[in-house]
Amino acid sequence: MIYWYIFLAFFIPGILGYGGGPASIPLVEKEVVDRYGWMTTQEFGEVLALGNALPGPIATKMAGYIGYMEGGVLGAIVALFASVAPSLILMVLLMVTLLKYKDSPKVKNITRLVRPVIAVLLGAMTLQFFMTSVDTSGTVQTVILIIISYWLLEIRKIHPAMVILLALVYGAISGIV
């Protein structure tokens, strides 16, 4: 029965907490501290602080930790699934709806209008990364990295993950020297 309670403790805040982790934290606290009494407010605050100190979404980190503390590895898995299940269900339902109406002129227009917006957002992000790289690494090194990356990706057809890994190794080596 504990796994059902763990599921509910993280599924309900996932449904009601619009906006992700920060919006659902008070709801998780209500479930974990007040409803089930698995920890005190102070302990919850410590878990929240630990979750904020680590990279990644806070809701899933808290779910994994609290689920593990209450139900072991299976409890952590149940809590993690429950925290992402509302978004997962909504995405599947939206995808089914989109596929059902994919030939609709309205859906085609929406897709046609969204693509340029995404392209502009990616372009703005790329420009921001470029400017940051120029500020921290210098223009020459940034341009050389861009040319080598382009050559590896487009000419040599190396997987992007390998290019990123090579850039990380280069960064580590150049940071040591």
125 and 42 in a single domain? The answer is no
d(C-alpha 147, C-alpha 117), whole Å: 26
Do both 57 and 9 map to the same domain?
yes
- What stretch of H or E contains 89? helix 58-100
Three-class SS state of 95: helix
Domain that holds residue 140: 105-176
Last residue of a domain, one of 40, 70, 100: 100
Q: 89 with 119, same domain? A: no
| One domain, residues 8 and 91 | yes
Cα–Cα dist 34/27, whole Å: 10
Mean pLDDT (whole number) for 158-167: 91
Last-in-domain residue among 100, 133, 164 = 100
pLDDT of residue 126: 87
The number of domains in the chain is 2
* 118-129 mean pLDDT: 89
Q: In this structure, are 7 and 89 located in the same domain?
A: yes
d(CA 133, CA 85): 38
pLDDT at 19: 63
Q: Same structural domain for residues 92 and 146?
A: no
Same domain as 165, residue 149: yes
In the predicted structure, residue 177 carries a pLDDT above the cut 60: no
92 shares a domain with 170: no
Inform me whether the pLDDT recorded for 18 exceeds 90: no
79 and 135 fall within a common domain: no
Question: Using CB atoms within 10 A of its CB, is residue 155 exposed (0-12), middle (13-18) or buried (19+)?
Answer: exposed
> H helices of 101-151, where?
105-137, 139-150
Residue 63 burial (CB < 10 Å; 0-12/13-18/19+)? buried
Largest distance between two CA atoms of the chain: 62
**If you compute the radius of gyration of the chain from its CA atoms, what whole number of angstroms results?**
22
Residues 23 and 71 in one domain: yes
For residues 82 and 122, state if they share a domain. Answer: no
**Structural tokens at position 121:** 């957002």
- Domain end call among 100, 118, 139: 100
Residue 128 and residue 110 share a domain: yes
pLDDT value for 107? 83
Say if residue 82's pLDDT is above 60.
yes
